[in-house]
Amino acid sequence: MTTKVAVMGSGNIGTDLMIKILRLSDSLEIAAMAGIDPDSDGLARARRLNVATTHEGVDGLVDMAEFADVSLVFDATSAGAHRRHDEVLRRLGRTVVDLTPAALGPYVVPPVNGDAHLNAPNVNMVTCGGQATVPIVAAVAAVAPVHYAEIVASISARSAGPGTRANLDEFTETTSSALEQVGGAARGKAIIVLNSAEPPLVMRDTVHCLVGDCDDAAVTASVEEMAARVQTYVPGYRLKQKVQFERVAIDSPLRSLLPAAFRSGQAAKVSVFLEVEGAAHYLPAYAGNLDIMTSAALRTAERMAAHRTTKVVSP
């Protein structure tokens, strides 16, 4: 039994997601793609793949005959547009998996809290930086309290389309919030870098966690186990080197980041360096930032569909 879905947004993310559903999913069936640019490559590609399309956005989507059978909609548009999309789709009883930084629904990062919101009407996939780094912060937090987490996501400028560039403020805010709410850090900070290097570089992420002290071996094992879990749905996700540890004196720049109990002596700074190479289903392999978002959204939707199917068939 498959669950019929629709994709809103015919840009890079929406098109890659459509192709992933067609190639990789046994439980999801794409019924339609909606965009607003009639000449977009995404809509043209969808038509070649026999996917019904509309260039009239959410209004066109809900008027399509195919929409009647759709129970879940992926929104790969923009944070601003998502607010109206959610209002329309929620009123019509459709579940929404949100790939924008709008964050109207709860954050979902599959290996951390993938089963926590299976009945939610709207779930948010955070950001590409969040999907790459929140699992690492959560892995450290599982072993030692993380008082401060700071991440830097560096992506190729070529893989940052108009939607990404329009949402940079939302990116930092949403990612920082997810580091705290899902990753477990007491405080979080996110930075994004658009790297214009040629040839384009694959996505790189740096994660720094400040803890009072920790068992280095336990933290390393937790981080490596988490990375392996992400690799089950993002094969190009990998640690660039061993987890790094540094004992630092609690001087004035760090003092405000730690609770009072740790404002003397030393703290441990845990640093993790990641690389995310894309599967190149639609865009080049350097666009790992897009690949990890669409892969996480696909994994989340499949879990939600399986959960709801089980509820329907259970006595």
Reported as a single tens digit per residue, the pLDDT across 61-111 is: 999 999 999 999 999 999 899 999 999 999 999 999 999 989 999 999 999
DSSP, collapsed to helix, strand or coil, labels residue 33 as strand
Task: Answer yes or no: is 227 a known binding residue.
Answer: no
Cα distances (angstroms) measured from residue 173 to each of 132, 176, 210: 16, 5, 20
Superfamily of domain 3-125+291-313: NAD(P)-binding Rossmann-like Domain (3.40.50.720)
pLDDT on residue 164: 76
Cα dihedral: 72, 64, 126, 311 (round 10): -10
pTM higher than 0.85, yes or no?
Answer: yes
Task: Answer yes or no: is 160 a known binding residue.
Answer: yes
Task: Answer yes or no: is 161 a known binding residue.
Answer: yes
pLDDT on residue 249: 72
pLDDT on residue 147: 92
- Domain assignments of the chain as residue spans, ordered by start: 3-125+291-313, 128-285
Task: Answer yes or no: is 42 a known binding residue.
Answer: no
Is residue 128 part of the annotated active site? The answer reads yes
Contact in structure between 125 and 293 (CB atoms under 8 Å)? yes
Task: Answer yes or no: is 195 a known binding residue.
Answer: no
pLDDT on residue 264: 56
What stretches in the chain show pLDDT beneath 50? 313-315
CATH fold label, 128-285 = Dihydrodipicolinate Reductase; domain 2 (3.30.360)
pLDDT on residue 260: 62
Task: Answer yes or no: is 23 a known binding residue.
Answer: no
Cβ contacts of 313 within 8 Å, gap of 6 or more: none
pLDDT on residue 258: 65
DSSP, collapsed to helix, strand or coil, labels residue 251 as coil
What is the C-alpha to C-alpha distance for residues 268 and 93, in angstroms, rounded to an integer? 48
Set 33, 51, 99, 128: catalytic member:
128
